């Protein structure tokens, strides 16, 4: 999969066209002379719709920022740490962007910034990012980007695709456990709590699925990143990565979970693939878990994405 890119709308098209030409265009109000961003059809100051476009310098200062150490989406895992920034342009408007070509230690509120036009020629879209205006603050980051990439895969990593772990049986689902889960997650839907709410009685909320498989893990059996060193029924591909990040999950349900059910979970490595990015390599491991009940009926199939760095 590829990272999503902005889709210009009729209102924003001139802004994106400007970026393609290496220019930052801002909306300008001919009535009150203000400039503003994001592009709208009405001036936010005087409500006039007599608007034009004005070329901005593109330079500005860092108004605020946050360092995102976890990917906001698996497709962006190669960009962590990501420096999400609000940039105040010299003309006044602020816009949200990311800082590039800057070591974290050099980022300071108020620092002077200049635009970096990141072109995606095939899609005809240019993203507006920012870097320090002072070249001395840019560090060696640009140089490391072109350094030869180091792979986190081992010889056996890809061989684990398709491998299935042993089937693990969870502890029986009980009314009390469902109640505890609902109160802990603040999900007080009567379907989960009140036997009279549905003719079929209580069912467990969908997110309950993996609860019967949770067991206490002693601290000594946790890796540095907090993930248990050994996981029942999971064959994890051998990697040279040091950290695992949760990269999201999808579940397809086939039937509800009820008190008295005893679920069995079987996991399988669905895919292992590596992506090289500006901050190094990330290995995406997709793990499929199939849940069945005591009658052998399929209850749900879940796919977890684990990002390894």
Interface residue with Zn ion among 19, 25, 29, 35 (CB under 5 A) is 29
Interface residue with Zn ion among 21, 38, 42, 48 (CB under 5 A) is 48
Instruction: Give SS3 for 135.
Output: helix
Nearer to Zn ion, 49 or 232 (CB): 49
Is residue 42 a contact residue for Zn ion (CB under 5 A)? no
DSSP 42: S
Interface residue with Zn ion among 11, 21, 45, 166 (CB under 5 A) is 45
How near is the Cβ of 51 to Zn ion at its closest, in Å?
Answer: 8
Nearer to Zn ion, 46 or 142 (CB): 46
Q: Tell me how many degrees the CA angle 259-263-265 measures, rounded to the nearest 5.
A: 155
Stretch of 26-34, 203-211, 239-247, 259-267 lying at the interface with Zn ion (CB under 5 A): 26-34
Stretch of 12-20, 42-50, 122-130, 252-260 lying at the interface with Zn ion (CB under 5 A): 42-50
Q: Tell me how many degrees the CA angle 282-64-34 measures, rounded to the nearest 5.
A: 120
Rounded to whole angstroms, the Cα distance separating 210 from 215 reads 11
Please state the separation of Cα 297 from the chain's center in Å.
Answer: 33
How near is the Cβ of 15 to Zn ion at its closest, in Å?
Answer: 18
Q: Pick from 163, 151, 131, 4: which is nearest to 60 by CA?
A: 131
How near is the Cβ of 47 to Zn ion at its closest, in Å?
Answer: 7
Q: Tokens standing for 114?
A: 């200049």
Nearer to Zn ion, 48 or 198 (CB): 48
Nearer to Zn ion, 47 or 109 (CB): 47
Sequence-separated (6 or more) residues with CB below 8 Å from residue 190: 197
Q: Are 77 and 275 in contact (CB under 8 A)?
A: yes
Q: How many residues does the chain have?
A: 309
Interface residue with Zn ion among 9, 21, 46, 206 (CB under 5 A) is 46
Is residue 222 a contact residue for Zn ion (CB under 5 A)? no
Nearer to Zn ion, 48 or 144 (CB): 48
Q: Tell me how many degrees the CA angle 208-166-271 measures, rounded to the nearest 5.
A: 80
Rounded to whole angstroms, the Cα distance separating 183 from 174 reads 14
Please state the separation of Cα 136 from the chain's center in Å.
Answer: 31
Nearer to Zn ion, 25 or 285 (CB): 25
Q: Are 87 and 64 in contact (CB under 8 A)?
A: no
Stretch of 31-39, 81-89, 166-174, 296-304 lying at the interface with Zn ion (CB under 5 A): 31-39
How near is the Cβ of 58 to Zn ion at its closest, in Å?
Answer: 22
Interface residue with Zn ion among 43, 89, 100, 269 (CB under 5 A) is 43
- Which residues of the chain form contacts with Zn ion (CB under 5 A)? 29, 31-32, 43, 45-46, 48
């Amino acid at each position: 999969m590829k990272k999503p890119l902005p889709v210009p709308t009729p209102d924003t098209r001139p802004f994106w066209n400007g970026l393609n030409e290496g220019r930052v265009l801002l909306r300008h109000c001919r009535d009150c002379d203000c400039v503003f961003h994001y592009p709208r059809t009405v001036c936010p100051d005087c409500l006039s719709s007599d608007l034009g476009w004005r070329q901005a310098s593109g330079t500005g200062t860092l108004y605020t920022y946050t360092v995102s150490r976890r990917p906001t989406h698996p497709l962006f895992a190669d960009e962590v740490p990501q420096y999400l920034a609000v940039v105040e342009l010299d003309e006044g408007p602020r816009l949200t962007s990311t800082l590039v070509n800057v070591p974290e230690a050099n980022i300071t509120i108020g620092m002077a910034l200049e635009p970096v036009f990141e072109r995606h020629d095939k899609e005809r879209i240019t993203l507006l990012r920012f870097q320090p205006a002072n070249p001395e603050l840019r560090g060696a980051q640009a140089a490391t980007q072109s350094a030869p990439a180091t792979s986190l895969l081992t010889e056996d990593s890809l061989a684990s695709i398709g491998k299935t772990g042993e089937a693990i049986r969870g502890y029986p689902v009980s009314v009390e456990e469902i109640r505890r889960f609902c109160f802990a997650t603040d999900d007080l839907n009567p379907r989960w709590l009140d036997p009279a709410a549905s003719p079929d009685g209580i069912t467990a909320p969908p997110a309950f699925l993996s609860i019967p498989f949770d067991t206490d893990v002693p601290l000594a059996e946790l890796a540095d990143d907090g993930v248990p060193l050994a996981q029942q029924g999971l064959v994890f591909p051998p990697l040279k990565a040091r950290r695992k990040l949760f990269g999201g999950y999808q579940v397809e349900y086939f039937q509800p979970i009820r008190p008295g059910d005893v679920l069995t979970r079987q996991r399988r490595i669905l895919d292992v693939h590596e992506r090289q990015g500006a901050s190094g390599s990330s290995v995406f491991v997709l793990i499929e878990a199939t849940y069945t009940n005591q009658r052998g009926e399929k209850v749900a199939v879940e796919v977890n994405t684990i990002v390894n760095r």
